[in-house]
Amino acid sequence: MSRSRKRAPQPRVGALQPEPRHAGPLNVDNLLADRKVRIIVCCGSGGVGKTTTSAALALRAAEQGRKVVVLTIDPARRLAQSMGIEALDNSPRPVQGINDAAGGELEAMMLDMKRTFDEVVQSQASPEKAQQILDNPFYIAVSSSFAGTQEYMAMEKLGQLDKDAQKSGRWDLIVVDTPPSRSALDFLDAPERLSSFLDGRFMRLLLAPAKGPARLMTAGFGMVTRALTTIIGAQVLQDMSAFVSAFDTLFGGFRARAQRTFELLQADGTAFLVIAAPERDAMREAAYFVDRLSQEDMPLAGLVINRTSDLAEADTAPLSANTAMAAYEKLHQPGADSYEKLAGGLLRLHADKMQAVTREHDLIDRFATAHPDVPRAKIRALATDVHDLDGLRQVGALLADQPE
C-alpha cells in the first residue's frame, strides 16, 4: 500500500537549537469540543484500558452535545455492560440513560469481524460471485481467524462509519477502540499485511492456471502443485485456488479502500490518543507507537496513562509521618510485641506503595523527556471496576481534571 510520508525538517549544522518545549497536560474537553475533530482513535497495547477510555470519552462528548458513535473491538464485551446494553453487534445501538440536556446522542457497536468481511464481499461482487466466496471453506477460515483480519476490518468499519456520517449527518464524532493486539503497532501494520497476502505471489500463482495460457502449466508448476498437495492436502489447495479465482475481482477494491482509510487516519479531522499503563512494557509500547504515528504523519493528540497511583505527592508526607508516629506510640505501650508486628507491616506496606509511586514517576518522566511535545493525562486507579455509566462519567471527569 502506498503511503505518503513527510520528513521532518532537519536543523542546519551549527545552528543554535531552541530549548526543548514541554507540552502541558492534555486538555480532553477542548479536544471533545472541537467540531473539526470527527474521529478519535484510542490505541495502545493490550490490557491498558483502551475500551474504558474510549467509552468514557464517547460518553463525555455526548453529554457535552456531540452526536457520537463508539466502535469497540474488545472481545470481553465490557463496553456493552458498562453502557447498559445487553449485547453489542455490528450495527450501532442507542445508549440509554445519558444526560442529553446539551442535545448530544450516543450509540455504541462492537466489531463483528466476519460479518464486516462478508459485507465488504457482498458490496463488491455480484450476488452469485459473493455467495461463491462466502461458501468457500478457505474464505471462512481467512475471514474468521487469519492474523490481521480483525485490524483490517476495524479500518473497513471505520471507513464505513465515516462515509455514513458524512452522508447522513447521523454522527459528528466517531470514537474507535482499536484491537487488543500483542503489539500496539499491529493496528497500522496488519491491514497492509492482509492486503499484501491477498494480492501476493502465492495467491497469484494459484490463480495463474485459471487465467493464463496453457503453457503456464509447465512441469515446474506441476511439481510445485504436487508438493503443495502433499503438504496441505488436495482439498485445501483446491479450496484456496477456488477462493483466489472468485476473489480476484476484489483485490483492487481492498487495496483502494485500505488506502482511503489510511489517508482518513492522516487527515486533520482525526486525533490519536495513545493509551498506556504505568508499567515498563506498556510505556515502551506507547513510546514506539508515538514514534510510529509521527513517521506516518498521523495526528497525535496525546498520551493517556491509566491506573496510576492514587497517592498524590501532597499526601505522601503527612501519611508517612502519621503512620510512623502511630507505630512509635504503639511500640512504647504494653503489648508492644503485637503492636510492633502491626506497625512493621504497615510501614512495609507504605514503603512498597512509595516504591511503586517512584517507579511510576520515573517511567512517566522518562517518557516526557524523550517526547516533550506530547501532552499527557493521568487517570488514577479506581477502587472498583467500571461497570456502569456513572463509572464512565467518573473516568471522563478524571481525564478532564488534569493539574496544570
pLDDT in tens, 116-165: 889 888 988 889 888 988 998 878 887 877 667 777 788 888 989 999 99
Residue 93 — very low, low, confident or very high, per pLDDT cuts 50/70/90? very high
Predicted confidence at residue 166, as pLDDT, reads 92
Asked if residue 9 has pLDDT above 60, the reply is no
- Rounded to 5°, angle at Cα 231 from 225 and 233: 75
pLDDT in tens, 353-394: 777 788 898 999 999 999 999 999 999 988 888 888 999 999
Residue 60 — very low, low, confident or very high, per pLDDT cuts 50/70/90? very high
- Rounded to 5°, angle at Cα 212 from 208 and 214: 110
Predicted confidence at residue 256, as pLDDT, reads 77
Percent of the chain with pLDDT over 90: 35
- Residue among 231, 229, 255 at smallest CA distance from 241: 229
Predicted confidence at residue 319, as pLDDT, reads 46
Q: How far is CA 327 from the centre of its chain?
A: 47
CA–CA dist 52, 79 (Å, integer) = 7
Asked if residue 22 has pLDDT above 90, the reply is no
- Which single residue is written with the C-alpha cell 484491537? 179
Tell me the C-alpha to C-alpha distance, in Å, between residue 235 and each of 134, 231, 238: 17, 11, 5
The more confidently predicted of residues 403 and 102 is 102
Q: What is the value of pTM for the model shown?
A: 0.78
Q: What is the pLDDT averaged over residues 43-51?
A: 88
The more confidently predicted of residues 33 and 203 is 33
The more confidently predicted of residues 183 and 46 is 46
Percent of the chain with pLDDT over 70: 65
Complete DSSP assignment for 96-126: TT---TTS-EEEEEE--HHHHHHHHHHHHS-
Asked if residue 112 has pLDDT above 70, the reply is yes
In angstroms, how far is the first alpha carbon of the chain from the final one? 42
pLDDT in tens, 318-353: 445 455 555 555 555 555 566 666 667 667 776 777
Predicted confidence at residue 218, as pLDDT, reads 44
Asked if residue 206 has pLDDT above 90, the reply is no
Q: What is the pLDDT averaged over residues 248-274?
A: 82
Counting Cα atoms < 13 Å in the Cβ hemisphere of 22 gives 7
Contact 262, 3 (CB under 8 A): yes
Asked if residue 61 has pLDDT above 70, the reply is yes
27-36, 46-55, 173-182: which is most confident: 27-36
Contact 84, 109 (CB under 8 A): no
Strands 173-177 and 39-43, bridge-based pairing: parallel
Asked if residue 226 has pLDDT above 70, the reply is no
Mean pLDDT for the chain? 77
- Residue among 97, 89, 47, 96 at smallest CA distance from 72: 89
Helix or strand or coil: residue 367?
Answer: helix
Predicted confidence at residue 54, as pLDDT, reads 94
Contact 187, 162 (CB under 8 A): no
Return the number of other C-beta atoms located less than 10 Å from residue 257's C-beta. 19
Residue 32 amino acid letter: L
Q: What is the pLDDT averaged over residues 271-295?
A: 93
